[in-house]
Each structure stands twice: as structure tokens, then as C-alpha cells.
Amino acid sequence: DQQVKQNSPSLSVQEGRISILNCDYTNSMFDYFLWYKKYPAEGPTFLISISSIKDKNEDGRFTVFLNKSAKHLSLHIVPSQPGDSAVYFCAASGSLNYGGSQGNLIFGKGTKLSVKP
Amino acid sequence: DSGVTQTPKHLITATGQRVTLRCSPRSGDLSVYWYQQSLDQGLQFLIQYYNGEERAKGNILERFSAQQFPDLHSELNLSSLELGDSALYFCASSREYDGSSGNTIYFGEGSWLTVV
């Protein structure tokens, strides 16, 4: 039972264009969402996050949008660069039923982004 | 560099054996998490410790155990290893436990375990 779903295993985008990575979740108790970027043979690197009290958070070329009613979030990268080519993981956490710990993130299976020059 | 250190980086061992993976969290972080990434399963949460105590358990097998020591480093023990345990094991750490928004966790580079 996947609580966080990234339905597109891969995405290919031309350099300079927008990359949009999507993520859906099922657990309404999730209240904090993160995106991680992962290069091969490296650990996931934190990219950007959003709390459920917001619907948008921007950091440079990266913007995360949250639609709570649809239980959907997306990561926009504008403009896309070849160095953005990596696997992007969506993750969620919340005050679940084990002492309110937000740490144990639930991850999607990732979307492999390829940005072509 | 996330500040989370994992050793060893690579490990090859035979079925039935036992291994220990080690993790040093970022300075000041009290929470340590272990994740497993295998080819077809993505990142699976295994277990979390906070200041030496177990806080949350995920999909951790009974053959696996972990602990966090007084100096906050953590070890993940994997025993009676099977071929299917071959995976990349990540340790991560964070500061907060209490569920306040913004509890970002930071990952180490992982330990590659190959069981032959």
C-alpha cells in the first residue's frame, strides 16, 4: 500500500524548459512534504520542502506546489539544466500514531529526470 | 557533504553471515534513521532512534536490529543474510523529534551491501 506515489518513473526535458515532477499521497495526516534529489551512488540530497499550511514554496529555480484537497504536490524546475538530471524523490511525513515523530519520511519510488542539452 | 558519515561504503558477504553498518549523525542531531534502498522498492524506512531510544519502526525484518549509543552514533546489524538483503542502506539524521514542521532529515552516502 503506497502512501506516496510518483506515477512517472522517468521524465525527459530539453534544457531551458520547465520540468514538472508530480507526486500524490493518500494519507491525510501528512503535513510536511519534501523533495530530495539523488545522483547515482550518492545519498539523497534535500532540495525543498513545504508545510501543509502553505500551497507554494520557492527556492531559486525550484518551486513546490501543494494541493491538499487533491492530495497532490508538484516540483517545478525552471529553467531546467543538464545538471538537474537525477532521480527526484517526493517524501511526506506527519504526526502519525507513534509519538508525533515527523522524522520517518515516507518516500515515493522516484522519478528519473533527464535534461537534454 | 551532508555531515552524516556511514561506514563501510561497500561490503560483500556470504549468505548466512552477519554484518554491522555504522553511522555518525550530523553534529548536534539527536535522531538517526535507517533506510533501505533496493532496486525495486525505492527508499524504505527501517527504524528511527532519538537520543538513544527507539522511536519508530518501519519495514525492518526481525533478522535486523539497530541501536544508538550514548555518543549518538548508530549501528544497524543485519544477520542471517539472504541474497535479497543486497541493497543500499542509508543512514540519516535530524535535530527535532517532536514533530514540529521543518524537520528535514539529511542522508549519508550509504553503505552498499552485496550478499553472494
Q: Which residue has the cell 558519515?
A: B5
CB-nearest partner of A95 from B58, B99, B106: B99
What is the C-alpha to C-alpha distance for residues B86 and B19, in angstroms, rounded to an integer? Answer: 12
Cis check for the bond before A82: say yes or no (omega within 30 of 0): no
Q: Between chains, do A53 and B101 touch, taking CB under 8 Å as contact?
A: yes
**Chain B neighbors of A92, CB-CB under 8 A:** none
User: pLDDT at residue A76 above 50?
Assistant: yes
Per-residue pLDDT tens digits for A6-60: 999 999 999 999 999 999 999 888 888 999 999 987 899 989 999 888 999 999 9
At A99, the pLDDT band (50, 70, 90 cuts) reads: very low
What is the C-alpha to C-alpha distance for residues B83 and B116, in angstroms, rounded to an integer? Answer: 6
Q: Which three-class secondary structure state does DSSP give residue A113?
A: strand
On whether the CB atoms of residues B96 and B103 are closer than 8 A, the answer is yes
What pLDDT is recorded for position A113?
A: 97
**Chain A neighbors of B41, CB-CB under 8 A:** 109
**Chain A neighbors of B43, CB-CB under 8 A:** 44, 89, 91, 107, 110
Say how many C-beta atoms besides its own lie within 10 A of residue A32's C-beta: 22
Tell me how many degrees the CA angle A88-B25-A97 measures, rounded to the nearest 5: 70
Higher-confidence residue of B42 and A104: namely: B42
Per-residue pLDDT tens digits for B74-116: 999 999 999 999 999 999 998 865 444 556 788 999 999 999 9
Q: Between chains, do B105 and A109 touch, taking CB under 8 Å as contact?
A: no
Q: Find the residue in A nearest to B34 (Cα).
A: A104
Q: Which three-class secondary structure state does DSSP give residue A82?
A: helix
Q: Between chains, do A43 and B48 touch, taking CB under 8 Å as contact?
A: no
Q: Which three-class secondary structure state does DSSP give residue A46?
A: strand
User: pLDDT at residue B1 above 90?
Assistant: no
Tell me which of B7, B21, B35, B43 to substitute to probe the interface with A (most A C-beta atoms closer than 10 Å). Answer: B43
What pLDDT is recorded for position A101?
A: 45
CA-wise closest residue to B89 among B29, B47, B54: B47
What is the C-alpha to C-alpha distance for residues A82 and A19, in angstroms, rounded to an integer? Answer: 11
The continuous run of DSSP H or E covering A77 comes out as: strand A72-77
Query: In the numeric block, which cell numbers belong to residue A83?
Result: 545538471
Q: Find the residue in B nearest to A5 (Cα).
A: B42
At B27, the pLDDT band (50, 70, 90 cuts) reads: very high
User: pLDDT at residue A1 above 60?
Assistant: yes
At A95, the pLDDT band (50, 70, 90 cuts) reads: low
Per-residue pLDDT tens digits for B43-64: 888 999 989 999 888 889 999 9
User: pLDDT at residue A102 above 50?
Assistant: no
Measure B73 CA to nearest chain A CA, in Å.
Answer: 17
What is the C-alpha to C-alpha distance for residues A89 and A35, in angstroms, rounded to an integer? Answer: 6
User: What integer is the mean pLDDT of B23-52?
Assistant: 89
**Chain A neighbors of B109, CB-CB under 8 A:** 41-43
What pLDDT is recorded for position A115?
A: 97
